Structure 1
């Protein structure tokens, strides 16, 4: 009896491998596009051209832009879960495992920040699936922090807030370079080098570890009171909050109108276009950031200045102000706007660097790359407003104090701040 070979069956592994390779290429190019312009503005035709397929063929690998973002984000989360599992499996104390995870996650080249900034664009099960994966990662990282508290290596802190602070730090670096226009200064690599010691021991030296009291709510009150009490401010605040959660391209004027109970006629009375509204929101945001840093400068010493800057920026995102975040849409702005906003962002960064460097000169801070650490702090402000909803002043102040303690003292229990 002669034997025959089923050629279709024999070729299946090769076809499967080729499809997997093509899907990987699609996701890689999608990641690059999301990093470049965000999710809502991503060009599927450009992704298809980069992979070498037609736009129609691209739909063999995704149902559309939203599904592509979902796949990219879930794949990134899966890789990070593996890194976290490896870190948790290492011998040693909890703090060392946390630092090890941060060290490995820094080199994870995926558009986490760009997609996380627009998760609200996803709908139905896609969004729920992404949020479940994200929450699982947060919970596991918080569990590792709690384990470190049990073994005595991690100080007392809110583990859930610390986990989200770490997340914001790790994935902000590419956006930070974008906004300051300092990509040539190798800031992403410098941030990567600074994050593990920052997470472990913060910026304050042993000499400076007396705890400065949290007072963000009292400091924020006059800033809130000084804002205009008119319809334009109401619209800009609501629009900024929506832009922060969904990205600029993911928000329509109808969305903003529904948020404030207005009609499109109101917008066109005050703003000629959506672009004009976005520009106003950016200008408003920088006005607020400038005011926050001005109040921070009035602190008695460098540690109090840094604490004020950290707490007020967190409070502003969580309560009352909601200034426009420095997001991926920056690349879609006209060149002149990009130049102007880069200059303003750099000026804010330089103020924060000044606080840190004065602390080093006085011996209150340990030696570190102040520019890299100051830029990294913005990642926390960017993401916290997406994970903590509602207008609760007490919760906002507690969160701000936790974030400030994280940056000042790190997670180590070796030298607790002195009350």
Structure 2
């Protein structure tokens, strides 16, 4: 299947495995450092070749990123093609998630920085994979509506792609079995009759002192999420709130300071809402259920913050980045501890994987159109998240 998807340049007398080596190293470097932080010279140096030798394989960094993401999608398509049934589908996804761990981050964070044409082509390929998955799922669940099947399959991709955001792993065989079981439980979730809720109002509500600063924070997190930190100018930030670009510096010392402040504001709101939701719970299971509902509600109103948190944390100054990463770890540790109270048979590794997978499902689910516009999305996400957590 992959062979029909893309014709790549290359050939001649170049080393047969050199192109694959470049793609493998570039995937790792982009994953760890972010697209803007990696240079072609760094990729070449990592392989012990010169930059001109690298340019004989790839015309530039955008083409290299496109081919890195494309090779991951090829591996996904090849793994999915022979799947016959939900269990085989989830086994294939588990293998790809482990063997191509950077793919989730590269797709969510870096592929959006590609030019529109290549980005659209890659998106079409991923949609074709989802249609294939949905066909397999509906063969196992004949009464499942197509829209529900696709939502479940996109959610499965989010769960498996969420492995990109952490590095720990149990032994291989156990890891594959756990991931397969999570996927099978997710794809079995019934979405019929999901609760329809009022439309979600995004962003901050009422005006207050310092409103212009608040408007800047809201505009910044949206623009950074949609375009990437390096692709947003101060003029664009100012225009978004009706001021000149230089006027931004009356409120923030730099664009980096604005990014840091916008992520801190989102982080504070999230923590306050979760703490308020679980405060009155008498038992761990009630606290977990209340926290999950609160998180989904927050995610639907502040999807841009979640997107920017995942994609732009690496662009923070070192001190701010350390604070953001440690805060995220503390947040995850709290959820892992709560889940293990409810499911004491989970060891720390399984609980962490399930919690990471749940957050990936929700964070992607509120941003993946057209499914993010479903009137019953909140209830659907809660049902799927509970399945991923093993509840």
When residues 398 and 254 of structure 1 are mapped into structure 2, their CA distance, relative to the original with a 3 A threshold, is farther
Residues 203 and 301, structure 2, Cα contact 8 Å, conserved in 1: no
The answer to whether the aligner puts 1:172 opposite 2:172 as a matched pair is no
| 1:319 counterpart (282, 301, 313) | 301
Pairwise CA distance, 1:371: 2.4
| 1:278-293 matched pairs, under 5 angstroms | 278-293=259-274
Distance 1:281 1:25, change over 3 A: same
After superposing the two structures, state which structure 1 stretch, 166-175 or 352-361, moved more.
352-361
5+ unaligned residues in a row in structure 1: which ranges?
1-14, 89-93, 178-182, 203-208
Alpha carbons of structure 1 residues 112 and 75: separation in structure 2 relative to 1, 3 Å: same
In structure 1, the residue matched to 2:229 is 248
User: Does the Cα contact within 8 Å between 2:62 and 2:114 map onto a contact in 1?
Assistant: yes
After the TM superposition, which residues 52-131 of structure 1 pair with which residues of structure 2 at under 5 Å, given as runs? 52-88=48-84, 94-116=85-107, 117-131=109-123
Q: Is residue 136 of structure 2 the alignment partner of residue 144 of structure 1?
A: yes
2:376 match: 398
In 1, Cα distance between equivalents of 2:194 and 2:141? 23
Q: Distance in 2 between matches of 1:283 and 1:24?
A: 40
* Number of equivalent positions: 371
Residue 224 of structure 1 and its aligned partner are, at CA, apart by 5.1
RCO higher in 1 or 2 (8 Å CA, sep ≥ 6)? 1
Match status 1:233 vs 2:224: no
Give the Cα separation in 2 of the matches to 1:191 and 1:266. 52
How far has the Cα of 1:273 moved from its partner? 0.6
Structure 2 residue aligned with 1:201: 185
Matched, 1:24 2:33: no
Tell me the residue number matched to 1:162: 152
**Residues 371-390 of structure 1 mapped to structure 2, 5 A cutoff:** 371-388=352-369
- TM-score (ref. length: structure 2): 0.80
Distance 1:80 1:17 in 2: 29
Measured on the aligned residues, the alpha-carbon RMSD in Å equals 3.8
Deviations for 1:224-282, whole angstroms, at most 9, x for unmatched residues?
Answer: 54786822222222222232334333433344344444421231111111110111122
Instruction: State yes or no: 1:337 paired with 2:320.
Output: yes
**Contact 1:172–1:379, Cα closer than 8 Å, also in 2:** yes
Which SS does the other structure have where 2:83 is aligned?
helix
Aligned-pair CA distance for 1:328: 5.2
Q: How far off its partner does 1:64 sit? A: 1.7
Does the 8 Å contact 2:234/2:246 carry over to 1?
A: no
Gaps of 5+ in 2: 1-10
Normalising by the residue count of structure 1, what TM-score does the alignment of the two structures yield? 0.75
Report the 3-state secondary structure (helix = DSSP H, G, I; strand = E; otherwise coil) of the residue aligned with 1:146: helix
Of structures 1 and 2, the larger Rg is shown by 1
CA distance in 2, matches of 1:309, 1:380: 15
Deviating more after overlay: 49-58 vs 272-281: 49-58
Q: Please point out which of 257, 270, 274 is paired with 1:276.
A: 257
Q: In structure 2, what is the Cα distance between the partners aligned to 1:285 and 1:118?
A: 22
